[in-house]
Structure 1
């Protein structure tokens, strides 16, 4: 498995991974993201600005995560320039349980570290225990829980 910053030519594959993950959650009555949010055009904009990391197995994109330097929606209290943030971690079902998520988290951590930030931060819906266990098992610590609309989100960070 190889992880890297996504290339512009990866947009269609990234959109497909995100769409598959969103639909999988809907099918299990655990909706999180709107399937319609992942058009290739919308994803292309984020890829072109370096906001996606990919995990490849051979030529296939097995998983993705959105990487950003600011997050005013979930982390408005973060001191500017001190953190990097991960969102929309998604793995193709064919690669589930094979270390893709950990590889993406590790690459995100190293990418953030290379830029000299102090924290890598992320959030998830607070009632998603398997996802929280993944993050905690990787070394993220719970920072706090916040309400956004009618949902509670757990905010995690890892010191770099």
Structure 2
């Protein structure tokens, strides 16, 4: 395992201020490792959401064609990530609105949970939406995870609707959330 794949907590314990930067294509392997790690935790906990095989280096490289990827590091170590895109008709269907920015793949590595790094990434995404002159930030969350849905509501996101993503043919239900962002000063 390389230094970039280390999953231990930041040196010196908690309290390390995270750094968030836009990811580069050269980060793809590390991002794929982080996403697979998150998926493995979900699978081992019996959570139906992500599967490790969804996240290859090639699939993450494909993200760069239609999403912006962001990497959070703590004490120089990869600790979290998220993606942003300008449209999301696949999930939002007729509600899709390009006046919003769409967040996906919010991930905090297990060793870094409880440090509000998820909140830091949400706030970063909100600032980016405001900087781009967007009305707000939108995201989806699988409907069958009440704790995760509650997290987004506590973070100021408003429930918009439940969306059926072809549940009868192996899809799922997701809850759609949005948060207005203030105009940049």
> What TM-score, normalized to structure 2?
0.80
CA contact (8 A) 2:89 2:96 kept: no
- The aligned length equals 160
* 1:11 aligned partner: 28
CA contact (8 A) 1:89 1:101 kept: yes
CA contact (8 A) 1:11 1:47 kept: no
The residue correspondences of 1:78-89 to structure 2 (distance < 5 A) are: 78=95, 80-89=97-106
Note closer, same or farther for the CA distance 1:9–1:116 as it changes in structure 2 (3 Å cut).
Answer: same
* 2:115 aligned partner: 98
CA contact (8 A) 1:7 1:48 kept: no
CA contact (8 A) 2:126 2:137 kept: yes
Name the stretch that deviates more: 45-54 or 78-87: 45-54
**Structure with the greater alpha carbon radius of gyration:** 2
User: Where do 5+ consecutive residues of structure 2 fail to align?
Assistant: 1-17
In the TM superposition, residue 50 of structure 1 has moved relative to its aligned partner by 5.2
In the TM superposition, residue 123 of structure 1 has moved relative to its aligned partner by 0.6
SS of the residue aligned with 1:11?
helix
What are the Cα deviations for residues 75-103 of structure 1, in whole angstroms up to 9, with x where unaligned? Answer: 12245430110111111111011111101
CA contact (8 A) 1:64 1:91 kept: yes
SS of the residue aligned with 1:144?
strand
CA contact (8 A) 2:69 2:81 kept: yes
* 1:59 aligned partner: 76
In the TM superposition, residue 47 of structure 1 has moved relative to its aligned partner by 3.9
In the TM superposition, residue 158 of structure 1 has moved relative to its aligned partner by 0.2
Q: Does 1:137 align with 2:154?
A: yes
Counterparts of 1:108 and 1:125 in 2: how far apart (Å)?
A: 20
Q: Does 1:154 align with 2:175?
A: yes
Stretches (4+) displaced over 3 A:
47-50
